[in-house]
Amino acid sequence: MKSIVFIAYFLVFACLPLRSQIQDFKVKNSANQVQRTQMLDLLRGEIRKTIRQEVVFVVDHFKVSGEYSWFEGSVQRKDGGQITFPDEDYECCKTTCLFVKRGSNWSIAEYGAFGTDMWWAGIVNRFPKAPKLIFPPDGVYYE
């Protein structure tokens, strides 16, 4: 009987870290649909303010762990047309975003769209609580 209780406790405590494992939101499915849509709608709203066009995303990278999520992708106009920019300071069409969850809602911690620089360089240092495994495995995030 003692060994059954031990095994039960072991399984319960061994599974606790699984709650904060990395989840891949690159593809929408029934398990991630609500959170994924909430985050992308937030980012879509920010981009709409900038370029005044309805957009959709081609997702290249979208990882979630705990209260943080990192997104990388391309922006396309919803109607399939070419994106037009207010001036020549924009470069089509990459966007990146760090989301943070506060309570049950996601918000944008930092994002960049249509830039020519890598604003996200060193983002791990600015957000030390963000799990490093949500970011792609190259060094620019850690500088």
Question: 3-state DSSP helix/strand/coil percent for the chain, to nearest 5?
Answer: 35, 30, 35
State residue 103's pLDDT score: 93
**For all residues of the chain together, what is the average pLDDT?**
86
| pLDDT at residue 85 is higher than 60 | yes
For residue 96, the SS3 value is strand
Give the contacts of 123 (CB within 8 A, at least 6 positions apart).
98, 110, 130, 135, 141
What share of the chain has pLDDT > 70, as a percent?
85
